[in-house]
């Protein structure tokens, strides 16, 4: 039986917002799921390490309010992937609190299912001892005991399986911890018996909202429809449209390879896909191939605190100083080191970023510089916040007053935009775990509330 | 002198995970795409020179005809958001590629 399965993706990131009219246009179709991705590692390790979100509670509530008040009475399952940004326990709880607030304020009731994606250090140690941990590329340090012990927050990207299970168990709102971005979308198709290759490929497109349309954006809604041998994508905003090229090109986005995608327990091969326009703005895709892996690996993500930072932003306009900036910075660095000679140099780092000259590319900047102004940002990262603050203050005062050779502006070298000039940043994190782990049993626990 | 940035419709960089940067170059016509592809200039060697990296740091360099584009994925020297990283999203690493000069193909 060929029943079409329709999935509405309101936007590419929960809390990014979407035009309500686009969403309402989607409700005109018979929908089988409203699914939104809330996660990403793009913003760096801080969210996972510190247990915070990158979008505001206010914005998440605004988006979820529309999804819940419209979806729940129509009995359309609502799924949130990688809740709270990183999908760890604190992020999931933060999202659940917002959902509870909405249900309470709107006088609605729902079966809320939660799928946890957290892993304990003991579980990772065990996997490591059993040889179930695998590196991803040579530039990622091996997962040593020390590395596991110093990483408090470890999650793994779930596949569609636990989400399909939660759907079977009748969850109205399914809140996923960390998930492979397309998984929550793929779960809808697979739950309804559709081909996993088509379901995942569609998921890969839908998780970014209307980014596959032209003009593309993550802040608008998109509709996906899966049949037995193909799926279609179409924009829900008349000001955007999908074309075969725009949909084909989307598979490039944020992936290491244009047509081979590795997910939990499978590889998706899109090399021989066909993209065609079946009616104005409706693009049909065929040929997405799902290749189950011999061993089921999930991707682990973990972040740990490595240091504390203090930084200063200042402008430099003096042409003589601009002409010898690196030399002056080197002097300032050495002066600060000399002043704090009782502190081991391995306890802190002093770094300068010369914006306008090579702030983005650093030593790899190919262009020569002939500007008249430079924005300089310098930071001290150290073992403790107190140490970072102290050394940064010394770097700042030395830089401000240093009488370099040939100086005419003897009153000061830096134009600070703010007072105070030194900004205490707080802890700095790093991705300390980014490895594959072979999964033995389903490791993602489902809980109903 | 024609530069890659003039021929491409999309020329961007972004993280593909915290330890890689991926460069996407997409075209809006088959002619432009073919011209660049057939020029032979898009090679691991060119990318290594442009980004001052070693060949083993390039994980993928793939043309995808259906999408009229190619992708280059390379390892990061410093992972996203770690101390010393200058571009957390990896979103501004494409600029050197824009100025790459593409020789005129046989069709001129």
CA A276 to chain centre: 31
Size of interface A-B (CB pairs under 8 A): 133
Q: How many CB atoms within 10 Å of residue A70?
A: 20
pLDDT, averaged across chain A: 97
Contact A256 B24 (CB under 8 A): no
| pLDDT tens per residue, range A35-69 | 999 998 989 999 999 999 989 999 999 999 999 99
What integer pLDDT is reported at residue A2 of this predicted model? 63
> Contact, B102 vs A58, CB < 8 A?
no
pLDDT at B107 over 50: no
| pLDDT tens per residue, range A310-343 | 999 999 999 999 999 999 999 999 999 999 999 9
Q: Which residues of A222-257 are buried (b: 16+ CB within 10 A; e: fewer)?
A: bbbbbbeebbbbbbbbeebbbebbbbbbbbbbbbbb
Contact A252 B81 (CB under 8 A): no
Q: What is the C-alpha to C-alpha distance for residues A153 and A119, in angstroms, rounded to an integer?
A: 8
Q: What is the C-alpha to C-alpha distance for residues A304 and A148, in angstroms, rounded to an integer?
A: 9
> Quick check: B34 contacting A, CB < 8 Å?
no
Judging by beta carbons within 10 Å of its beta carbon (0-12, 13-18, 19+), is residue B78 exposed, middle or buried?
Answer: middle
Residue A60: what are its φ and ψ, rounded to 5°?
Answer: -65, -40
SS3 content of chain B, % helix, strand, coil (to 5): 30, 30, 40
Q: Which of the pair, B106 or A373, is modelled with greater confidence?
A: A373
Residues of B in contact with A136 (CB under 8 A): 17, 19
Could you say which residues from 114 to 143 on chain A have a Cβ atom under 8 Å away from some Cβ of chain B?
A: 136-140
Judging by beta carbons within 10 Å of its beta carbon (0-12, 13-18, 19+), is residue A140 exposed, middle or buried?
Answer: buried
Mean local confidence (pLDDT), A431-435: 97
Preferred mutation among A140, A211, A252, A383 to probe B, highest tally of B CBs within 10 A: A252
Q: What is the DSSP letter of B70?
A: E
Q: What is the DSSP letter of B100?
A: -
What integer pLDDT is reported at residue A440 of this predicted model? 86
| pLDDT tens per residue, range A2-30 | 699 999 999 999 999 999 999 999 999 99
Smallest CA–CA distance from A40 into chain B, residue: B17
pLDDT confidence of A223, banded at 50, 70, 90? very high
Residues of B in contact with A245 (CB under 8 A): 28, 67-68
Smallest CA–CA distance from A271 into chain B, residue: B64
Q: What is the DSSP letter of B80?
A: T
Q: Which stretches of B1-108 are DSSP H helices? A: 4-7, 30-39, 44-51, 95-98
> Quick check: A43 contacting B, CB < 8 Å?
yes
What integer pLDDT is reported at residue B106 of this predicted model? 47
pLDDT at B108 over 60: no
pLDDT confidence of B1, banded at 50, 70, 90? confident
> Contact, B11 vs B4, CB < 8 A?
yes
User: How many angstroms separate the CA of residue B101 from the nearest CA in chain A?
Assistant: 14
Which segment of A250-264, A411-425, B81-95 scores lowest on mean pLDDT? A250-264
Q: What is the C-alpha to C-alpha distance for residues A190 and A186, in angstroms, rounded to an integer?
A: 6
Side-chain half-sphere of A237: how many Cα atoms within 13 Å? 25
ipTM of the complex: 0.93
pLDDT confidence of B104, banded at 50, 70, 90? low
User: How many angstroms separate the CA of residue B105 from the nearest CA in chain A?
Assistant: 24
pLDDT confidence of A253, banded at 50, 70, 90? confident
Q: Would strands A231-235 and A282-286 be described as parallel, antiparallel, or unpaired?
A: antiparallel
Could you say which residues from 196 to 255 on chain A have a Cβ atom under 8 Å away from some Cβ of chain B?
A: 245, 248-249, 251-255
pLDDT at B95 over 50: yes
Looking at the partner chain, which of B19, B85, B88 has a beta carbon nearest the beta carbon of A140? B19
Contact A41 B80 (CB under 8 A): yes
């Amino acid at each position: 039986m060929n029943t079409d399965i329709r999935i509405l993706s309101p936007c590419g990131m929960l809390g990014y917002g979407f035009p309500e009219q686009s969403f309402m246009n989607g409700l005109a179709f018979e929908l089988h799921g409203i699914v939104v991705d809330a996660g990403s590692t793009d913003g760096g390790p801080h969210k996972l390490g510190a247990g915070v979100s990158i979008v505001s509670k206010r914005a998440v509530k605004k988006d979820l309010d529309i999804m819940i008040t419209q979806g729940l009475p129509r009995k359309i399952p609502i799924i949130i992937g990688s809740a709270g940004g990183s999908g760890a326990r604190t992020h999931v709880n933060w999202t659940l609190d917002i959902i509870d607030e909405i249900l309470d304020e709107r006088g609605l009731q729902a079966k809320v299912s939660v799928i946890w994606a957290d892993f304990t250090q003991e579980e990772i140690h065990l996997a490591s001892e059993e040889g179930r941990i695998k590196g991803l590329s040579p530039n990622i340090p091996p997962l040593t005991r020390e590395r596991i012990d110093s990483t408090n927050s470890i999650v793994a990207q779930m596949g569609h399986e636990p989400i399909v299970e939660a759907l079977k168990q009748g969850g109205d709102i399914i809140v996923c911890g960390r998930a492979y971005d397309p998984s929550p979308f793929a779960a809808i198709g697979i739950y309804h018996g559709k081909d996993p290759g088509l379901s995942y490929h569609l998921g890969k497109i839908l998780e970014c909202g209307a980014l596959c349309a032209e003009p593309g954006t993550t802040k608008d809604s998109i509709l996906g429809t899966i049949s037995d041998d193909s799926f279609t994508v179409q924009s829900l905003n008349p000001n955007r449209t999908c074309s075969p090229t725009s949909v084909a090109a989307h598979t490039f986005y944020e992936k290491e390879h244009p047509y081979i995608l590795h997910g939990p327990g499978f590889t998706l091969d899109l090399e021989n896909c066909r993209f065609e326009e079946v009616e104005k703005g409706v693009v049909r895709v065929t040929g997405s191939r799902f290749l189950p892996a011999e061993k089921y690996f999930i991707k682990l993500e973990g972040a740990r605190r490595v240091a504390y930072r203090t930084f200063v932003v200042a402008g430099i306009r003096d042409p003589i100083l601009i002409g010898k900036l690196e030399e002056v910075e080197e002097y300032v660095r050495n002066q600060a080191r000399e002043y704090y000679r009782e502190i081991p140099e391995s306890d802190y780092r002093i770094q300068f970023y010369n914006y306008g000259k090579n702030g983005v590319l650093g030593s790899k900047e190919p262009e020569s510089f002939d500007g008249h102004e430079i924005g300089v940002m310098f930071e001290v990262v150290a073992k403790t916040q107190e140490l970072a603050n102290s050394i940064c203050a010394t770097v700042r005062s030395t830089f401000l007053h240093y009488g370099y050779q040939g100086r005419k502006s003897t009153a000061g070298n830096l134009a600070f935009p703010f007072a105070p000039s030194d900004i205490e940043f707080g802890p700095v994190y790093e991705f300390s775990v980014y490895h594959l782990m072979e999964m033995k049993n389903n490791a993602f626990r489902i809980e109903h509330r | 002198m024609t530069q890659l940035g003039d021929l491409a419709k999309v020329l961007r960089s972004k993280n593909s995970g915290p330890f890689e940067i991926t460069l996407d170059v997409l075209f809006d016509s088959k002619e432009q795409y073919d011209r660049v592809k057939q020029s032979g200039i898009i090679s691991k060697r060119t990318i290594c020179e442009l980004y001052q990296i070693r060949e083993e740091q390039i994980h993928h360099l793939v043309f995808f005809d259906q999408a009229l584009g190619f992708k280059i994925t390379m390892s990061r020297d410093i992972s996203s958001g770690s101390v010393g990283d200058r571009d957390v999203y990896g979103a501004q690493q494409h600029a050197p590629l824009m100025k790459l000069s593409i020789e005129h193909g046989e069709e001129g």
